[in-house]
Amino acid sequence: MQQNAYILFSIISAILSSAAAVYIWRRRAAAGALFLALLMLSIAVWSFAYAMELSGTEKQIMRFWLRIEYLGIAFIPLWGILFTLQYIGCDKWLNKRNIVALSIIPVITLILNWTNEWHHLFYKEVNLEISHGMAILALTKGIWYWVHIFFVYATYLLNSFLLLQMYWQRGRLYRVQALTIVIAMLPPVIGNVLYLTNLSPFPNLDLSPFAFNITGILIIWGLFNYRLFNVVPVARDILIENISDGLFVLDIANCVVDINPAAQRLTGVKISSAIGQNIKALLPGWTEFLACIADNADKEKMRQKIIIAENINQHIDLRIIRLKDRQGNKRGKLIILRDISAEKELEAKREELIHNLQEALAQVKTLSGLLPICANCKKIRDDQGYWHQVETYIKNHSEADFSHSICPECGKKLYPEFYEEAASNSIDSL
């Protein structure tokens, strides 16, 4: 009965890990998803093979399934460290040389485990014992087994350190993600420590595959509750918290990955409600903004000035930059929003001032050029062909006005009697 419970727990662990691997594989374009899918698949292989080992009663059959277990066990630390490095954005370390170097110990572990009967470097002895009414392999560890264990715990500590470092440096959602992964990795480690130190209540029974049930549940919980691999740390390092421009980072599905305080002030949304939401659902009233994002589907960069429909006095300088990884794969978009409402207001005032000046200048009438004037009557012809008195024309085409009087020469001609009398009076007075 107890044996059946162990087998059942191992099979459940294999099922949960396989389900998580399939789900993550579908999102393998996200940073770290491919390696975590391989990690969960390795756990599934280990758990299933361990269930088969526990169901066996003959040493050779159980030893066969132990070899199959190491198809998963040997590579779990490798997939774990590669996942962590890519997930936190340290892609520069994921070159062929480093991956090959990290693969050396797992590959040697697998080979030495499969060929142990020739050299006994992995297990000094493999014996069959009956414990709690069930057949169990009693393994005396060899020198390479401890090299493998050292590699496992070294990568585990490095993973934990990097993820906890991310916990302290990133936003709230990323902290929960990092903590979820660290906690999910812990139960199998505790089970393995109990097995290695002989503190387990079940001697020679490795509790790690059973503990992977907790790991699988936590990973699946994180996938659905904290959007692991829907929301990943894309371009977080370029989001400067105190920058004046509003910054959005969108993933490949146009869901919000990150948002800085300036964007929160500009749009009125909060980071707690924005993360993981599709930008269309988050800002439904920003129609011109959303149209630009849709138009940017195949463009590397885009810049446009838009007006917010909800507030016609709010003008935004919008820039959209496509984000890619080192391999050129699309990772999302960086959206930069700058409020240029004040600039637009100054520009409107300037345009109004220019318009007013143009109207004032239009009212200033000046005379210049060649004026057609009659040689006899001295009338002036206008642009429409009509003839006008000089004073009428000048008055209509300038700011000048007239006050009429008579010059002395015209006075002699028009009023000779008056002029002679005035001249005689002037002489008598002398």
Residue from 233, 237, 253, 243 nearest 336 by CA = 243
- Residue 366, domain member (yes or no): no
Same domain, 63 and 116: yes
Does residue 9 lie in a domain region? yes
Instruction: State the CATH number of the domain containing residue 216.
Output: 1.20.1070
What per-residue confidence (pLDDT) applies to 417?
A: 73
Q: Of 317, 344, 371, which residue constitutes the final position of a domain? A: 344
Asked whether residue 290 falls in the same domain as residue 165, the answer is no
Question: Is residue 124 a contact partner of residue 141, using CB atoms and an 8 Å limit?
Answer: yes
Same structural domain, 91 and 190: yes
Q: By residue range, what is the domain housing residue 310?
A: 236-344
CA trace torsion 187, 188, 193, 194 (10° rounding): 70
In this structure, the answer to whether residues 199 and 290 fall within a common structural domain is no
In a domain, 231, yes or no: no
pLDDT at 42: 92
Q: Does residue 152 sit in the same domain as residue 280?
A: no
Which residue, 285, 239, 280, 299, is CA-closest to 263? Answer: 239
Report yes or no: 49 and 65 within 8 Å, Cβ to Cβ: yes
Boundary of a domain, candidates 161, 190, 225? 225
Residue 313 lies in a domain: yes
Q: How many domains does the chain have?
A: 3
Confirm whether 174 is domain-assigned.
yes
Residue 86 one-letter amino acid:
Q
319 and 173 in a common domain: no
Same domain, 270 and 215: no
Query: Do 159 and 23 belong together in one domain?
Result: yes
298: which 2 tokens?
């195949």
d(CA 15, CA 26): 17
66 and 164, same domain (yes or no): yes
Is residue 111 in a domain? yes
Q: What pLDDT does residue 335 have?
A: 84
Same domain for 218 and 246?
no
Tens-digit pLDDT string for the chain (430 aa): 567 787 888 898 889 889 888 888 887 777 778 888 898 899 899 999 999 988 888 889 999 999 999 999 999 999 989 988 887 777 778 888 999 999 999 999 999 999 999 999 999 998 888 876 778 888 889 999 999 999 999 998 998 888 787 666 655 556 667 777 888 888 888 888 888 888 877 777 777 877 877 877 777 776 666 555 554 454 444 445 567 788 888 887 888 877 788 888 888 887 767 777 888 888 877 777 778 777 665 666 666 666 665 555 677 888 888 877 666 777 788 888 888 877 878 888 888 888 877 776 665 555 566 778 887 777 888 777 788 887 777 777 766 677 777 777 777 777 777 766 665 665 454 4
Judge whether 357 lies within some domain.
no
Indicate if the alpha-carbon torsion angle 263, 269, 274, 277 is positive or negative.
negative
Cα–Cα distance for residue pair 277/253, rounded to 1 Å = 10
* Cβ neighbours, 10 Å, residue 69: 22
Residues 6+ apart with CB under 8 A from 175: 166, 167, 168
Q: Please indicate, yes or no, whether residues 131 and 169 belong to a single structural domain of this protein.
A: yes
Q: Does a structural domain hold residue 293?
A: yes
| Residue-level pLDDT at 365 | 54
Best CA proximity match to 219, nearest among 3, 10, 24: 24
Place of tokens 């020739």: 118
CATH of residue 323's domain is 3.30.450.20
Q: Tell me which of 225, 259, 281 is where a domain ends.
A: 225
Phi, psi of 366 (to 5 degrees): -130, 150
Q: Are residues 54 and 78 in the same domain?
A: yes
**Pick from 210, 234, 54: nearest CA to 130:** 54
